[in-house]
Structure 1
Amino acid sequence: MLFINYPKCSTCQKAKKWLDAHQVTYTDRHIVEKNPTYEELKEWHQRSGLPLKRFFNTSGMLYKEMQLKDKLPAMSEEEQLQLLATNGMLVKRPLIVKEDAVLTGFKEAEWEEKLL
Protein backbone atom coordinates (compact mmCIF):
# COMPACT_ATOMS: atom_id res chain seq x y z
CA MET A 1 0.00 0.00 0.00
CA LEU A 2 1.23 3.46 -0.90
CA PHE A 3 0.81 6.37 1.54
CA ILE A 4 1.40 9.60 -0.34
CA ASN A 5 1.72 12.60 1.93
CA TYR A 6 3.30 15.94 2.67
CA PRO A 7 5.15 15.56 6.01
CA LYS A 8 4.42 19.17 7.12
CA CYS A 9 0.66 18.70 6.62
CA SER A 10 -1.11 18.21 9.97
CA THR A 11 -3.80 15.98 8.40
CA CYS A 12 -1.07 13.79 6.89
CA GLN A 13 0.64 13.55 10.29
CA LYS A 14 -2.65 12.53 11.90
CA ALA A 15 -3.24 9.94 9.16
CA LYS A 16 0.26 8.51 9.59
CA LYS A 17 -0.28 8.18 13.36
CA TRP A 18 -3.57 6.40 12.64
CA LEU A 19 -1.89 3.95 10.23
CA ASP A 20 0.89 3.23 12.73
CA ALA A 21 -1.55 2.83 15.64
CA HIS A 22 -3.54 0.30 13.59
CA GLN A 23 -0.34 -1.45 12.45
CA VAL A 24 -1.13 -0.90 8.77
CA THR A 25 1.93 -1.54 6.59
CA TYR A 26 2.63 1.09 3.95
CA THR A 27 5.27 2.62 1.73
CA ASP A 28 5.75 6.29 2.54
CA ARG A 29 6.05 8.72 -0.39
CA HIS A 30 6.70 12.46 -0.12
CA ILE A 31 4.31 14.12 -2.58
CA VAL A 32 6.63 17.04 -3.41
CA GLU A 33 9.83 15.01 -3.81
CA LYS A 34 8.06 12.42 -5.96
CA ASN A 35 4.98 14.00 -7.49
CA PRO A 36 2.41 11.56 -8.88
CA THR A 37 2.80 11.20 -12.64
CA TYR A 38 0.04 11.74 -15.18
CA GLU A 39 -0.16 7.96 -15.73
CA GLU A 40 -0.43 7.24 -12.00
CA LEU A 41 -3.10 9.89 -11.48
CA LYS A 42 -5.11 8.66 -14.45
CA GLU A 43 -5.03 5.06 -13.19
CA TRP A 44 -5.82 6.03 -9.59
CA HIS A 45 -8.71 8.23 -10.68
CA GLN A 46 -10.20 5.38 -12.75
CA ARG A 47 -9.76 2.86 -9.92
CA SER A 48 -11.13 5.19 -7.24
CA GLY A 49 -14.55 5.81 -8.79
CA LEU A 50 -14.27 9.34 -7.34
CA PRO A 51 -14.91 12.58 -9.20
CA LEU A 52 -11.62 14.06 -10.40
CA LYS A 53 -12.23 17.18 -8.29
CA ARG A 54 -11.64 15.01 -5.19
CA PHE A 55 -7.99 14.66 -6.27
CA PHE A 56 -7.42 18.43 -6.02
CA ASN A 57 -6.17 20.06 -2.83
CA THR A 58 -8.93 22.67 -2.88
CA SER A 59 -7.79 24.26 0.38
CA GLY A 60 -4.19 24.69 -0.79
CA MET A 61 -2.57 28.03 -1.50
CA LEU A 62 -1.51 27.02 -5.02
CA TYR A 63 -5.08 25.96 -5.89
CA LYS A 64 -6.33 29.37 -4.75
CA GLU A 65 -3.49 31.35 -6.39
CA MET A 66 -4.19 29.64 -9.71
CA GLN A 67 -7.94 30.35 -9.29
CA LEU A 68 -8.68 26.73 -10.15
CA LYS A 69 -12.16 26.86 -8.61
CA ASP A 70 -13.17 28.97 -11.60
CA LYS A 71 -10.95 27.28 -14.20
CA LEU A 72 -11.52 23.55 -13.53
CA PRO A 73 -15.14 23.39 -14.80
CA ALA A 74 -13.96 24.56 -18.24
CA MET A 75 -11.05 22.10 -18.38
CA SER A 76 -11.24 18.61 -19.81
CA GLU A 77 -10.44 15.62 -17.59
CA GLU A 78 -7.25 15.20 -19.60
CA GLU A 79 -6.17 18.81 -18.90
CA GLN A 80 -6.99 18.44 -15.20
CA LEU A 81 -4.87 15.27 -14.91
CA GLN A 82 -1.98 16.96 -16.75
CA LEU A 83 -2.25 19.92 -14.34
CA LEU A 84 -2.27 17.67 -11.25
CA ALA A 85 0.89 15.96 -12.50
CA THR A 86 2.77 19.29 -12.60
CA ASN A 87 2.87 19.93 -8.85
CA GLY A 88 2.30 17.70 -5.82
CA MET A 89 0.90 20.64 -3.87
CA LEU A 90 -2.17 20.58 -6.13
CA VAL A 91 -2.96 16.99 -5.16
CA LYS A 92 -5.28 16.20 -2.24
CA ARG A 93 -3.42 14.46 0.52
CA PRO A 94 -2.93 12.16 2.15
CA LEU A 95 -3.54 9.75 -0.67
CA ILE A 96 -3.80 6.00 -0.11
CA VAL A 97 -3.30 3.70 -3.07
CA LYS A 98 -3.77 -0.02 -2.71
CA GLU A 99 -4.88 -2.93 -4.84
CA ASP A 100 -8.61 -2.50 -4.21
CA ALA A 101 -8.94 1.12 -3.06
CA VAL A 102 -7.80 4.68 -3.66
CA LEU A 103 -8.59 7.14 -0.86
CA THR A 104 -8.10 10.92 -0.91
CA GLY A 105 -7.89 12.90 2.31
CA PHE A 106 -8.16 11.43 5.79
CA LYS A 107 -11.62 10.34 6.88
CA GLU A 108 -11.22 7.95 9.78
CA ALA A 109 -14.47 6.02 9.21
CA GLU A 110 -13.68 5.48 5.52
CA TRP A 111 -10.12 4.39 6.32
CA GLU A 112 -11.36 1.98 8.97
CA GLU A 113 -13.75 0.42 6.50
CA LYS A 114 -11.26 0.15 3.62
CA LEU A 115 -7.97 -0.51 5.41
CA LEU A 116 -8.70 -2.67 8.43
Structure 2
Amino acid sequence: MSQLTFFTYPSCTSCRKTKKWLTAHSIEFVERHLFKDTPSPREILKILSLTTSGLDELLATRSQTFKNLEQNLDELSLSEVVQIVIKDPKLLRRPILTNGEKIVIGYNPDAFKNMAK
Protein backbone atom coordinates (compact mmCIF):
# COMPACT_ATOMS: atom_id res chain seq x y z
CA MET A 1 0.00 0.00 0.00
CA SER A 2 1.25 3.48 -0.80
CA GLN A 3 1.71 6.14 1.79
CA LEU A 4 -1.49 7.63 3.15
CA THR A 5 -1.67 11.43 2.99
CA PHE A 6 -4.11 13.19 5.28
CA PHE A 7 -4.91 16.79 4.29
CA THR A 8 -6.34 18.37 7.40
CA TYR A 9 -7.18 21.56 9.22
CA PRO A 10 -6.90 21.32 13.03
CA SER A 11 -10.08 23.28 13.87
CA CYS A 12 -12.18 21.10 11.55
CA THR A 13 -14.33 18.66 13.57
CA SER A 14 -14.38 16.02 10.79
CA CYS A 15 -10.59 16.26 10.53
CA ARG A 16 -10.13 15.69 14.27
CA LYS A 17 -12.54 12.71 14.18
CA THR A 18 -10.67 11.27 11.18
CA LYS A 19 -7.27 11.64 12.87
CA LYS A 20 -8.62 10.01 16.05
CA TRP A 21 -10.09 7.12 13.99
CA LEU A 22 -6.85 6.56 12.03
CA THR A 23 -4.76 6.64 15.20
CA ALA A 24 -7.13 4.29 17.06
CA HIS A 25 -6.82 1.81 14.18
CA SER A 26 -3.01 2.10 14.04
CA ILE A 27 -3.07 3.38 10.46
CA GLU A 28 0.06 5.29 9.53
CA PHE A 29 -0.35 8.55 7.66
CA VAL A 30 1.45 11.74 6.73
CA GLU A 31 -0.46 14.75 8.00
CA ARG A 32 -0.52 17.91 5.87
CA HIS A 33 -2.04 21.13 7.14
CA LEU A 34 -4.27 22.18 4.26
CA PHE A 35 -3.59 25.91 4.67
CA LYS A 36 0.11 25.83 5.63
CA ASP A 37 1.10 23.05 3.21
CA THR A 38 -1.47 23.52 0.44
CA PRO A 39 -1.51 20.86 -2.28
CA SER A 40 0.37 21.80 -5.44
CA PRO A 41 -1.46 22.17 -8.77
CA ARG A 42 -0.27 18.67 -9.69
CA GLU A 43 -1.56 17.25 -6.39
CA ILE A 44 -4.96 18.97 -6.83
CA LEU A 45 -5.24 17.47 -10.33
CA LYS A 46 -4.30 14.03 -8.98
CA ILE A 47 -6.89 14.35 -6.20
CA LEU A 48 -9.49 15.42 -8.77
CA SER A 49 -8.64 12.42 -10.96
CA LEU A 50 -9.47 10.11 -8.03
CA THR A 51 -12.91 11.58 -7.35
CA THR A 52 -16.05 10.10 -8.84
CA SER A 53 -17.80 13.42 -9.44
CA GLY A 54 -14.88 15.83 -9.92
CA LEU A 55 -15.06 19.33 -8.52
CA ASP A 56 -18.53 18.79 -7.03
CA GLU A 57 -17.04 16.19 -4.70
CA LEU A 58 -14.01 18.29 -3.79
CA LEU A 59 -15.42 21.78 -3.25
CA ALA A 60 -17.05 22.96 -0.03
CA THR A 61 -20.04 24.45 -1.85
CA ARG A 62 -21.93 25.22 1.37
CA SER A 63 -19.02 27.19 2.86
CA GLN A 64 -19.14 30.96 3.18
CA THR A 65 -15.87 31.13 1.24
CA PHE A 66 -17.52 29.39 -1.71
CA LYS A 67 -20.63 31.55 -1.47
CA ASN A 68 -18.44 34.68 -1.45
CA LEU A 69 -16.68 33.71 -4.70
CA GLU A 70 -17.13 36.37 -7.32
CA GLN A 71 -16.47 34.00 -10.21
CA ASN A 72 -18.76 31.30 -11.51
CA LEU A 73 -16.43 28.30 -11.45
CA ASP A 74 -18.41 26.63 -14.24
CA GLU A 75 -17.21 29.39 -16.58
CA LEU A 76 -13.52 28.91 -15.76
CA SER A 77 -10.98 26.47 -17.12
CA LEU A 78 -9.76 23.66 -14.88
CA SER A 79 -6.36 25.33 -14.45
CA GLU A 80 -8.07 28.56 -13.37
CA VAL A 81 -10.18 26.69 -10.80
CA VAL A 82 -7.06 24.90 -9.51
CA GLN A 83 -5.31 28.27 -9.04
CA ILE A 84 -8.32 29.65 -7.11
CA VAL A 85 -8.35 26.59 -4.85
CA ILE A 86 -4.62 26.87 -4.18
CA LYS A 87 -5.01 30.55 -3.36
CA ASP A 88 -7.90 29.80 -0.99
CA PRO A 89 -7.81 26.19 0.27
CA LYS A 90 -10.89 26.87 2.44
CA LEU A 91 -12.78 26.06 -0.77
CA LEU A 92 -11.84 22.39 -0.35
CA ARG A 93 -13.95 19.94 1.62
CA ARG A 94 -12.05 18.43 4.51
CA PRO A 95 -10.49 16.15 5.39
CA ILE A 96 -8.97 14.69 2.24
CA LEU A 97 -7.35 11.29 2.61
CA THR A 98 -5.52 9.65 -0.28
CA ASN A 99 -3.04 6.89 -0.94
CA GLY A 100 -2.53 7.96 -4.54
CA GLU A 101 -4.97 5.34 -5.86
CA LYS A 102 -8.08 5.99 -3.78
CA ILE A 103 -9.52 9.05 -2.11
CA VAL A 104 -11.87 9.72 0.79
CA ILE A 105 -13.26 13.21 1.30
CA GLY A 106 -14.92 13.89 4.64
CA TYR A 107 -15.30 11.65 7.67
CA ASN A 108 -16.19 8.15 6.44
CA PRO A 109 -14.89 5.26 8.58
CA ASP A 110 -16.18 2.56 6.18
CA ALA A 111 -14.21 4.13 3.34
CA PHE A 112 -11.14 4.48 5.61
CA LYS A 113 -11.27 0.72 6.26
CA ASN A 114 -11.32 -0.01 2.53
CA MET A 115 -8.41 2.32 1.90
CA ALA A 116 -6.34 0.79 4.71
CA LYS A 117 -6.57 -2.73 3.22
TM-score interval w.r.t. the shorter chain? Answer: 0.7 to 0.9
The answer for the alignment partner of 2:40 in structure 1 is 37
Cα distance between partner residues in 2 of 1:2 and 1:43: 13
Stretches of 4+ moved more than 6 A in 1?
A: none
Q: 5+ unaligned residues in a row in structure 1: which ranges?
A: none
Q: 5+ unaligned residues in a row in structure 2: which ranges?
A: none
Map 1:24-63 onto structure 2 (within 5 A).
24-63=27-66
Cα distance between partner residues in 1 of 2:66 and 2:81: 12
Moved more, 14-23 or 39-48: 39-48
The answer for the alignment partner of 1:7 in structure 2 is 10
Cα distance between partner residues in 2 of 1:14 and 1:81: 27
Please tell me the root mean square deviation across aligned C-alpha atoms, in Å.
1.8
The answer to whether structure 1 residue 111 and structure 2 residue 104 are counterparts is no
Cα distance between partner residues in 1 of 2:109 and 2:53: 17
Cα distance between partner residues in 2 of 1:22 and 1:59: 31
Secondary structure of 1:8 counterpart? coil
Shift in Å, 1:106 = 1.6
Cα distance between partner residues in 2 of 1:93 and 1:105: 5
Give the count of matched residue pairs: 114
The answer to whether structure 1 residue 84 and structure 2 residue 66 are counterparts is no
Say if 1:6 and 1:31, in contact at 8 Å, map to a contact too: yes
- Report the TM-score, using the length of structure 2 for normalisation: 0.84
Shift in Å, 1:67 = 5.7
The answer to whether structure 1 residue 16 and structure 2 residue 27 are counterparts is no
